[in-house]
């Protein structure tokens, strides 16, 4: 016990350097955890996708429509329990800077297929009864100070014209990572305003299957049904569908992941430099310890122990700082990127691994200085003057 206490006190013999090193480690941990949290949030939507939900789209691209007639045929495919559909609207609210997702959907079936949309029975009835009504996510309503009964005026882009929607409900998320920055309105309202050549067209079909284990077979059956038709289909799980959008940012995500590991490398370099300086300055002290009976293993333990203590304490401070910082950044990002990011929260497992990784990295960074301190010749060390 006396030896461990001596190692702990020795780690803070030069308090300024130990403190600055600890701060450097803390900053590195904050940067690492923030980047890992950002990556987790980016993938959260796909990871939380319902296992029994699938998406049917045009085989060529999602920008090509599917005929409304496909809904009845898909419903008859064995294994399919429910079908709904949606069209991406892409309208502009005030100006292009106020972007948020808007979908024209069939309200009744969409609420069945996507139970994550939670609204009150009163709001549901009001929406179903009003052809020009819509529902908006609670975060979107908070952002624009909307309330039930307000009118949203939008400029159509994909579907030209001036559109007005009345808010009949504000929905909450039934699951942690479900987006609450989207507007949903009646597909029939959209279809009624379309010219003859654009009527009865859908962007996607959203289906539920009885057994997620049979999803592949169901997907193959659907795609086979429309093989060689004017609009062939591609059916995939909701997770695969969402991952296709995540993949568009693949280069950026890979860069962020690489940078996160570079941060850990920098952390090890910081600790290695500190331990090397400390060992060089205290060569004579280590020689005296050897002279009074301490073994080389004890000296090595001193150096590695100091690195472990400084790295561990710095890492724990970093984790404590990351939690409020992440919470602050989450609130800002939810208002600007809520439609693209999932829950922006610090992963406790990642935090624990970061602390353990920092401690292990500190020990590894101390190996060379410790080895040099343990193998130095006693006589040469005693003669050395800094």
Q: Residue 177 corresponds to which tokens in the numbers above? A: 């990572």
Using the 3D structure, point to which of 231, 261, 287 is the last residue of a domain: 231
Which tens digit of pLDDT belongs to each residue from 145-169? 999 999 999 999 899 999 999 999 9
Give the burial class of 147: count Cβ atoms within 10 A of its Cβ; 0-12 exposed, 13-18 middle, 19 or more buried: exposed
Q: Are residues 303 and 376 in the same domain?
A: yes
| 73 and 190 both lie in a single domain | yes
The answer as to whether 127 is a domain residue is: yes
pLDDT tens digit sequence for 265-302: 777 777 777 766 766 666 666 666 666 767 767 777 77
Residue 86 lies in a domain: yes
Most confidently predicted of 38-47, 223-232, 289-298, 340-349:
223-232
Judge if 65 and 166 occupy the same domain: yes
280 with 351, same domain: the answer is yes
Q: Which of 231, 262, 287 is the last residue of a domain?
A: 231
The reply to whether 180 and 42 lie within a common domain is no
Phi-psi domain of 90 (left: phi exceeds 0; alpha: psi -120 through 50; beta: other): left
Beta strand ranges found along the chain (DSSP E): 53-58, 66-67, 80-88, 101-105, 117-118, 133-137, 151-156, 161-173, 182-186, 201-202, 204-209, 233-237
Residue 243 lies in a domain: no
CA distance 97 to 52: 35
Burial 308-344 (b: 16+ CB within 10 A, else e): bbbbbbbbbbbbeebeebbeeebeebbeeebbbbbbb
pLDDT of residue 340: 46
Are residues 95 and 214 both part of a single domain? yes
Tell me the two tokens of residue 103: 């979908």
Model pLDDT, residue 339: 44
**Are residues 156 and 195 both part of a single domain?**
yes
Q: Write the pLDDT tens digit of every residue in 327-386.
A: 666 666 555 554 445 455 666 777 777 777 777 777 776 666 666 666 666 555 555 544
Clarify whether residues 72 and 210 are in a common domain: yes
For 258, residues 6+ apart whose C-beta sits below 8 A from its C-beta are none
Instruction: Give the confidence band of 252 by pLDDT, cuts at 50, 70, 90.
Output: low
For residues 47 and 41, is the Cβ–Cβ distance under 8 A?
no
Residue 50 scores a pLDDT above 60: yes
Q: Are residues 191 and 334 in the same domain?
A: no
Question: What is the pLDDT confidence band of residue 77, given thresholds at 50, 70 and 90?
Answer: very high
* Residues 163, 299 share a domain: no
pLDDT at 222: 95
The proportion of the chain whose per-residue pLDDT surpasses 90, expressed as a percent, equals 38
CB 192 within 8 A of CB 163: no
Q: Is residue 238 situated within a structural domain?
A: no
- Count of structural domains, the chain: 2
Q: What is this structure's pTM?
A: 0.67
| pLDDT tens, residue by residue, 309-329 | 877 788 888 888 877 777 666
Domain that holds residue 313: 2-46+249-383
């Amino acid at each position: 016990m006396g030896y461990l206490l001596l190692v702990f006190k020795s780690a803070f013999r030069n308090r300024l350097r130990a403190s600055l090193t600890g701060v450097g480690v803390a900053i590195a941990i904050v940067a690492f955890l923030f980047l890992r949290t950002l990556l987790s949030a980016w993938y959260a939507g796909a990871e939380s996708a319902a296992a029994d939900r699938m998406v049917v789209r045009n085989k060529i691209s999602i920008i090509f429509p599917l005929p409304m007639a496909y809904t009845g045929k898909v419903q008859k495919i064995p294994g399919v329990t429910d079908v709904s559909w949606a069209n991406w609207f892409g309208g502009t609210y005030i100006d292009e800077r106020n972007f948020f997702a808007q979908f024209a959907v069939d309200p009744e079936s969409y609420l069945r297929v996507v139970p994550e949309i939670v609204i009150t029975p009163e709001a549901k009835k009001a929406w179903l009864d009003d052809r020009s009504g819509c529902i908006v996510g609670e975060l979107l309503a908070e952002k624009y100070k909307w309330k039930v009964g307000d009118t949203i005026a939008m400029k159509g882009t994909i579907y030209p014209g001036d559109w007005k929607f009345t808010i009949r409900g504000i929905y909450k998320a039934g699951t942690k990572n479900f987006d609450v920055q989207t507007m949903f309105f009646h597909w029939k309202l959209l279809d009624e305003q379309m010219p003859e050549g654009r009527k009865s067209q859908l962007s996607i079909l959203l289906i539920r299957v009885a057994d997620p284990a049979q999803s592949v077979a169901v997907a193959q059956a659907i795609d086979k049904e429309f093989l060689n038709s004017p609009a062939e289909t591609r059916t995939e799980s909701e997770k695969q569908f969402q991952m296709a959008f995540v993949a568009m940012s693949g280069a950026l995500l890979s860069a962020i992941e690489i940078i996160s590991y570079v941060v850990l490398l920098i952390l090890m370099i910081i600790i290695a430099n500190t331990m090397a300086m400390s060992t060089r300055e205290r060569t004579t002290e280590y020689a005296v310890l050897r002279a009074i009976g301490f073994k080389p293993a004890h000296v090595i333990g001193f150096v590695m122990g100091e690195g472990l203590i400084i790295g561990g304490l710095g890492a724990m401070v970093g984790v404590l700082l990351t939690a409020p910082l992440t919470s602050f950044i989450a609130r800002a990002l939810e208002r600007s990127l809520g439609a693209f990011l999932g829950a922006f929260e610090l992963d406790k497992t990642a935090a624990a691994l970061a602390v353990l990784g920092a401690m292990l990295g500190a020990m590894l960074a101390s190996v060379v200085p410790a080895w040099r301190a343990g193998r130095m010749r006693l006589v040469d060390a005693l003669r050395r003057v800094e």
